[in-house]
Structure 1
């Protein structure tokens, strides 16, 4: 069976969901820099720790090294980000899916680049999601897709990743839509909700960012 890989980066701790709730889903945990410490703090021993580890102290680095099977340290000055290195390591393990944690909530340039990483994986036919305390984000291409109701993330938004998304149709949603085209900057498909246990969204051309979300106090 193809493994599900959880990658935990070093974004703000306050933006992380409980990682323990995903421990039964994730087959292999990869801690990226301080993300490896976040895993240890929740009682999860990552199989792999990777990065330049410039955001941890010597004591924390030693703790990480003593609790992982595979410790991969890189120089601070390099072409790839620590997260890119983790993604390439994950891809080499032939995953069925990759779940990202700790990749939002900090620097906006990092967050936007991380969303683009999902696009890179989509092009390689690897399903991936970004998950934080209030959001679950994924990328989808043309076709018909089923989406299930999530009581913890009741709001559903569709945002065009390409300049336009053609022929989007929503079924089973409070706000239905039939064969519409949405473009960059459109708010037409923001903050919808399912009215049954599942719904479908379909479109003919383009790429969508799909976000399930909830308000975080």
Structure 2
């Protein structure tokens, strides 16, 4: 549903929403996204990649500096939502303006490192917007208060804090119990699964990376309503 009221999300759905960015997109990324969602939002220039598949976005959100006039003219005017301010990225503009139980994003990882860091920063800044990003080899998401990951023993499970967090784990070769993780301190990259992994985190800010094949398992975990959900950050 498209919402035109001020101070409310532009797009609201009771089902997962797809979000397509204008960055690097793998050959199967859009297919993997489109078979899992009904509603698809483009972050600015992400509309071009989406429209090349024959799909017109249900909404386009961004500052429109990378949306060509050719593509813009092919999108109904009531699906265009320009946000001209330059203090945030198009991913930020889009993510904070959709309300759904889960967002599945493609076209945000890969390419320039600074762009990727900005994207990961946005994941950490909007903890109340559950979002899974497709990477070339993994999926990335902000850890909810608790989650069970159905992964295969030996899989890499990486944890990287964007702010100070603590937690407990089950099923990891190197448990995180009692550890303080923070960006300039201890991190949990290149950990390995011994079995299904359970994480219990005391606050928002921990990024989790698991193999790409586990996308459906991660989606199911979020949609099970057993993960809990972080509150919206204070403005």
Aligned match of 1:72 in 69, 75, 81?
A: 81
1:87 aligns with 2:95: yes
TM-score by length of 1: 0.74
Residue segments in structure 1 that go unaligned for 5+ positions in a row = none
1:46 aligns with 2:51: no
What does 1:1-217 correspond to in 2, within 5 Å?
Answer: 2-14=14-26, 17-63=28-74, 65=75, 70-73=79-82, 75=84, 78-90=86-98, 94-122=99-127, 125-140=128-143, 143-149=145-151, 154-163=155-164, 165-166=165-166, 168-186=167-185, 189-196=188-195, 198-204=196-202, 207-213=205-211
After superposition, what is the alpha-carbon deviation per residue over 1:134-190, rounded to whole angstroms, capped at 9, x for unaligned? 22111125x543112169x93210112223x33x43322334454333343456622
Shift in alpha-carbon separation, 1:119–1:17, aligned structure 2, 3 A: farther
Task: Count how many residue pairs are aligned between Structure 1 and Structure 2.
Answer: 200
After superposition, what is the alpha-carbon deviation per residue over 1:90-123, rounded to whole angstroms, capped at 9, x for unaligned? 1xxx31112222122234333222222222321x
Structure 1 contact 17–132 (Cα < 8 Å) conserved? no
TM-score by length of 2: 0.69
After superposition, what is the alpha-carbon deviation per residue over 1:14-71, rounded to whole angstroms, capped at 9, x for unaligned? 5x752222223223211122211111223433211233443354434334x26x8612
Supply the RMSD in Å over aligned alpha carbons: 3.2
Range with bigger deviation, 5-14 or 105-114:
105-114
Residue segments in structure 2 that go unaligned for 5+ positions in a row = 1-12, 213-235
Range with bigger deviation, 177-186 or 99-108:
177-186
